[in-house]
Chains A and B, each alone.
Chain A
Amino acid sequence: MINTMECAVDAQSLISISLRKIHNSRTQRGGIKLHKNLLVSYVLRNARQVYMNEKYAEIYRMQQYEEVMTVCNEIQELNPLDLAEDCEEQRGDCCGNGGVSEPASLCCALLPVSQLVAVQSAHMQTPSACSAPLSLQSDEVCKETEPSFYQSCCAEAYPVSNCEFSPVNNLHCNKTTVLDLDTHVVTTVENGYLHQDCCASLQQCCQGAQYSGKKRKVDFEYYISDIEEVPDFTPCKRAKFEDCSYANSEHLDTSNISNLISIFGSGFSGLVSRQADFEQALALNGQFCSKQALASLGAWTRAIVAF
């Protein structure tokens, strides 16, 4: 794995520098130097890989936030009467045994548990619709367990907030904390705002370059279908992260270098003619990252957050 901390110049700058070198080589006396341009293409590939990893990690974090928000929204929409039965069933998990180390969260029970492990925290909040009729019971739940018992992965007790246990404020206090086993990111969603409470020691795990979520499937189609800012974007359909980054890296290397070599053969006009396409086709498809392409990618992720 490339040590991205090695130099201050980020991957995006390296990409633009490399493309400029390739462009300048066209006008150098003596013709294009094959050796030098081959080495520049390697730098371009490496920078692109790092940039892609960072973007994937960012998208993954956004996706997690989206999932959490979606689940919480679904919980809010549920009929309180329907939830009462669920809450009854979950009560045993919550307060049946005093020795239960980590009481399950009603909220988390509705989350996709295949990937996530819900960690109880003092902020853990049952859905307002659910908690209203169970307010007394939830109070009992909370009284039976110490506030410090609800801890995030950071081993720091969250301060108990009064609002969580106030039926009146249930509608407004909406917090859910989840821990992702893959990235070790603790995500707290509070009133629609995303908080990431990562331990300092786990910060590196949160960096996109270290992503190892091979089990995670990213369905870009889900997002793209609702976004009109990039109408021509062609996502990796049902692409796993490893497909887009690691496992097929050699294929992408070849395709990337092959694109570069073919451009060498056709002259810089080939690069220029493709730039218009590159603005549309993002790096996810193994195409070149020009500044414009990268900027459009940023706009796309901003759209995700807004959504």
Chain B
Amino acid sequence: MAGAGGGGNDVQWCFSQVKGAIDDDVAEADIISTVEFNHSGELLATGDKGGRVVIFQQELESKNQPQCRGEYNVYSTFQSHEPEFDYLKSLEIEEKINKIRWLPQKNAAQFLLSTNDKTIKLWKISERDKRPEGYNLKEEDGRYRDPTTVTTLRVPVFQPMDLMVEASPRRVFANAHTYHINSISVNSDCETYLSADDLRINLWNLEITDRSFNIVDIKPANMEELTEVITAAEFHPNQCNTFVYSSSKGTIRLCDMRASALCDQHSKLFEEPEDPSNRSFFSEIISSISDVKFSHSGRYMMTRDYLSVKIWDLNMESRPVETYQVHEYLRSKLCSLYENDCIFDKFECCWNGNDSVVMTGSYNNFFRMFDRGYRQDVTLEASRESSKPRSVLKPRKVCTGGKRKKDEISVDSLDFNKKILHTAWHPQDNIIAVATTNNLYIFQDKL
């Protein structure tokens, strides 16, 4: 099964493509807010702050160049969400796409869920490459014919046409969340999915839009007693009754929906005691979990907090089995990062196809890969400068102190406006999608 390696010497990452505007002046609407491969890896979806969804499709491998994987080209673009206004609360609801999740494919059409802060939508993406021609009562341009002029009858036939990809909203799941939705996750039963906001998690049926079940509610009776919020949630990849949700306090709770209708009582609580020597003004902020992802096997889960990535074994709640420091050199810069709001950035993380390598983003358009087996890690950069086709990415290094070596970059030189929050890994191959502010980079391993 492809996908092994990634952080060691056995895999070299090459630039493949970059999508998006070249301008340095970034329009806010073009800022990418989510990236997701579908289950086969053929389709790659991105969402942006402007509420748009762009889907890329991988070309079939060329017969002339069997060793070269197909490129990703634009397949469909549609406006998923529009800005709305809550008149009751006098609040504007952003159209920013927070998450996209693909449904497993059941027929020729593709389905995905996209969500902003308040509303989830189920989109059907289908292809049309034929159209019926030869209607008796309609002209070719669609105008109706006068029935009195019809003298003969004919059977309409399908004629080939240029491929057209249509995206149509099939379901709209609205008015179920008081707070901002941060996660959606499709269940392995392919019938239900969950949506999570800051304080509640709801369970939906994909067919039913006018009701949902509330399965987690951590809102205190007195809001003055609020101490933590939900930051991410995900269904187990194999067990349809199990899901996890992470909190701003750095804890992860695993819940079993068979235990009770309301899963406020967790089945397992994953928490690592804080190191008292690292206590600071910002301890609570950097311990807040920004993303949680199950491994494909379902045996492990990965969490991302501000400075590290942790791998948890579901059978051990007391501490993670592996911890990887993403950018520990930022620990002494937390004051500055707090002032410029960077400390609130929510980095995501992802597994490779066989769960041997994990990846997450950092600043200065750096992203990091950690090979769990070889205990190696590598820092790479997504930049236009290293965007020559099939050019091998050179590992980058941040100088944390002392004399800066050649090709190293000092901590003070890092550009904190260039951040990689969203990354995705192809489910089978060594193809990764890395989102900078407004560009999508696609890298492949060197074949």
- Chain B nearest CB: distance from A101 CB in Å? 39
Per the bound structure, the CA–CA distance linking A14 and B338 in Å amounts to: 9
CB of B279 within 8 A of CB of A258, answer no
Does A3 interact with chain B (Cβ within 8 Å)? yes
A73 contacts partner chain B, Cβ-Cβ < 8 Å: no
Interface stretch among A30-38, A140-148, A194-202, A284-292? Answer: A30-38
Residues facing A in B165-199 (CB within 8 A) are: 179-180, 198-199
Give B331-362 as 1s and 0s: 1 = Cβ < 8 Å from A's Cβ atoms.
01011001101001000000000000000000
CA distance A283 to B228 in the complex (A): 24
B281 touching A47, Cβ below 8 Å: yes
CA distance A10 to B266 in the complex (A): 40
Give B238 Cβ to nearest chain A Cβ, in Å.
30
Given A7-B335, A39-B284: A257 and B224 within 8 A (CB)? yes
Contact A43 B93, CB 8 Å, known A7-B335, A35-B231? no
Which chain B residues border A261 with CB–CB below 8 Å?
A: 223-224, 226
A36 and B344 form a contact (CB under 8 A)? yes
A8 within 8 A of B: yes
Please, which residues of chain A bring their CB within 8 A of the CB of B241?
A: none
Q: Which residues of B contact A35 (CB under 8 A)?
A: 180, 198, 229, 231, 248, 288
Given the complex of chains A and B, what is the CA–CA distance between A46 and B224 in angstroms?
Answer: 18
Given that A2-B280, A30-B94 are known contacts, is A7 also in contact with B231, CB under 8 Å in the complex?
A: no
Check if A29 sits within 8 Å of B92, measured CB to CB: yes
Once bound together, how far apart are the Cα atoms of A227 and B280, in whole Å? 36
Question: Is B225 an interface position by the 8 A CB rule?
Answer: yes
User: Looking across the interface, which residue of chain A has its beta carbon closest to that of B222?
Assistant: A258
Question: Which residues in chain A, 224-255, are within 8 Å of chain B measured between CB atoms?
Answer: 254
For residue A33, which residues in chain B have a CB less than 8 angstroms away from its CB?
Answer: 180
Rounded to whole Å, the gap between the CB of A39 and the closest CB of chain B is 5
**Is the CB of A1 closer than 8 A to any CB of chain B?**
yes
Interface size on B, residues (CB 8 A): 36
CB-based contact A2/B226 at 8 Å: no
> Quick check: is A265 within 8 A (CB to CB) of the other chain?
yes
Decide if B380 is an interface residue (CB 8 Å cutoff).
no
Instruction: Kindly state whether residue B282 has any CB partner on chain A within 8 Å.
Output: yes
Count of inter-chain pairs, beta carbons less than 8 A: 93
- Asked whether, in the complex, the Cβ of B281 is within 8 Å of the Cβ of A2, the reply is yes
Residues B248 and A38 in contact, CB atoms below 8 Å apart = yes
Given that A1-B279, A3-B280, A7-B334 are known contacts, is A34 also in contact with B288, CB under 8 Å in the complex?
no
Cβ of A193 under 8 Å from chain B: no
Contact A254 B280 (CB under 8 A): no
Residues of chain A within 8 A of B225, CB atoms compared: 254, 258
Closest-CB distance, A33 to chain B (whole angstroms)? 7
User: Which residues of B sit under 8 angstroms from A47, Cβ to Cβ?
Assistant: 281
User: Are B285 and A3 in contact, CB atoms less than 8 angstroms apart?
Assistant: no
Is the C-beta of B227 less than 8 angstroms from some C-beta in chain A? yes
Flag if B93 contacts A30 (CB, 8 Å): yes
Within 8 Å by CB of A258, from B179, B224, B283, lies B224
Whether A8 contacts B335 by the Cβ 8 Å rule is: yes
Give the distance to chain A from B219, nearest Cβ to Cβ, in Å: 10
A136 at the A/B interface (Cβ < 8 Å)? no
User: Could you say which residues of chain B place their CB within 8 Å of the CB of A8?
Assistant: 335
Query: In residues 296-347 of chain B, which contact A (Cβ within 8 Å)?
Result: 332, 334-335, 338-339, 341, 344
Interfacial chain B residues near A257, Cβ < 8 Å:
224, 226-227
Asked whether any CB of chain B lies closer than 8 Å to the CB of A6, the reply is: yes
Q: Is the CB of B224 within 8 A of A6?
A: no
B285–A30 CB distance below 8 A: no
Q: Mark A1-38, 1 if CB is under 8 A from B, else 0.
A: 11100111101001001000100000001110111101
What's the minimum C-beta distance from A57 to chain B, rounded to whole angstroms? 18
Would you list which residues of chain B between 78 and 136 have a CB under 8 Å from chain A? 89, 91-94, 96, 117
Q: With the chains together, A31 CA to B90 CA distance in Å?
A: 9
The answer to whether B332 and A6 have CB atoms under 8 Å apart is yes
Contacts of A31 in B (CB 8 A): 89, 91-93, 180
Q: For the complex formed, measure the closest distance between the CB of A207 and the CB atoms of chain B, giving whole angstroms.
A: 16
- Find out whether the CB atom of B280 lies under 8 angstroms from the CB atom of A262: no
Q: Are A2 and B279 in contact (CB under 8 A)?
A: yes
- Note all chain A residues with C-beta closer than 8 A to B281: 2, 6-7, 11, 14, 43, 46-47, 50
Question: In the assembled complex, which residues on chain B have CB atoms less than 8 Å from the CB atom of A21?
Answer: 341
Query: Within the complex, which residue of A6, A29, A34, A50 is in contact with B94, where a contact is CB–CB below 8 Å?
Result: A29
Nearest B residue to A31 via CB reads B91
> Separation in Å of the A37 CB from the closest CB of chain B?
10
Q: How far is the CA of A31 from the CA of B222 in the complex (A)?
A: 21
Q: Kindly state the separation between the CA atoms of A204 and B222 in the bound complex, as whole angstroms.
A: 41
How far in angstroms is the closest Cβ of chain A from B280? Answer: 5
Those of B382-419 within 8 Å (CB) of chain A: none
- Tell whether A30 pairs with B117 under 8 Å between CB atoms, given A1-B279, A2-B279, A17-B339: yes
Q: Known A-B contacts: A33-B180, A35-B229, A50-B281. Give 8 more (CB < 8 A).
A: A1-B279, A6-B332, A6-B334, A31-B89, A43-B285, A46-B280, A254-B224, A261-B224
* B residues lining the A interface (CB < 8 Å): 89, 91-94, 96, 117, 179-180, 198-199, 222-229, 231, 248, 279-285, 288, 332, 334-335, 338-339, 341, 344
Chain A contact residues, CB within 8 Å of chain B: 1-3, 6-9, 11, 14, 17, 21, 29-31, 33-36, 38-39, 42-43, 46-47, 50, 254, 257-259, 261-262, 265
27 CB < 8 A contacts A-B: A2-B283, A6-B281, A6-B332, A6-B335, A7-B280, A14-B338, A17-B339, A21-B341, A30-B180, A31-B93, A34-B179, A34-B198, A38-B228, A39-B248, A39-B284, A39-B344, A42-B285, A43-B284, A47-B281, A50-B281, A254-B224, A257-B224, A257-B226, A257-B227, A261-B223, A261-B224, A265-B223
7 A-B pairs with least C-beta separation: A258-B224, A7-B335, A42-B284, A30-B94, A31-B91, A46-B281, A261-B224
